[in-house]
Amino acid sequence: MDKKANDTFAFDLENRLDDFFSDELPPQENPAAEPAAVKVSELPLEDLKSTILAIDWEITDDALDAFIHQVDKLADRYSADKVIQSLLKILKSLGKYIRQKKSNAHPDTIKRIMAVYSTLEAVVGNDDLSQTEKKQLLQEEVNQFKMLKAKIAERKPALGSVPQAPKADAATGIDSVIQAIDDLKSLMATELNAIRKEIGKLRKK
């Protein structure tokens, strides 16, 4: 009987220890759930990224409309973050320019969109970045935006010299090109002023 009692006691003790350690161990599902949680922060930009890749492949009205729509949605989502707002404004300005000029847009425009998107992705997805670092990234994108604007303005003489039609038609063509460039400069100047105001607000903080 003593041996049987000891065996029963040992069996019960082992079961209780198993139950104890089972309660202490995390559920099996948790490790698999963590990567999904990490990926959530990337999801808001996934549609925009796909659309940018589509535009890089082929410039279409549908893709550009989707691009601007997605930028507007992100602007609503991150309305409290001035750095993200400014980056989105740059993207929207570039998108409007491409929609207006299509294949005649400056060849560096798509590259600039992709670069600004990469900065946006870093700002949105990296919680370790300080506000100062985010502002520095934004300032670099503003500088690059200004450089692109200057390159577009430099194309004005080259575009004006292309037409080889009769004088009346040539004059009309040149006037149209000059007007289009002036309109573009006005559009980009307006967008740039808005971005400057946002940066000014950030510096005051």
pLDDT tens digit sequence for 165-191: 545 454 555 666 566 666 666 777 777
Amino acid at 184: L
User: Cα–Cα distance between 140 and 118 in angstroms, integer?
Assistant: 12
pTM for the full predicted model = 0.60
Are 106 and 151 in contact by the 8 Å Cβ rule? The answer is yes
Q: What's the length of the chain?
A: 205
Per-residue confidence band for 147, with pLDDT thresholds at 50, 70 and 90: very high
Residue (of 172, 195, 2) closest to 86 by Cα position: 195
Question: What kind and span of H or E run contains 143?
Answer: helix 131-154
Q: How confident is the model at residue 182, as a pLDDT?
A: 67
Mean pLDDT across the chain: 77
Task: Give 165 or 104, the one with higher predicted confidence.
Answer: 104
User: Cα–Cα distance between 35 and 89 in angstroms, integer?
Assistant: 31
User: Cα–Cα distance between 41 and 84 in angstroms, integer?
Assistant: 14
pLDDT tens digit sequence for 60-94: 999 999 999 999 999 999 999 999 999 999 999 99
Q: What is the DSSP track for 22-83? A: HHHSPPTHHHHHHHHHHHGGGHHHHHHHHHHHHHHH---HHHHHHHHHHHHHHHHHTTT-HH
Count of beta carbons in the 10 Å neighbourhood of residue 205: 7
Q: Write a three-state SS string for 83-105.
A: HHHHHHHHHHHHHHHHHHHHHHC
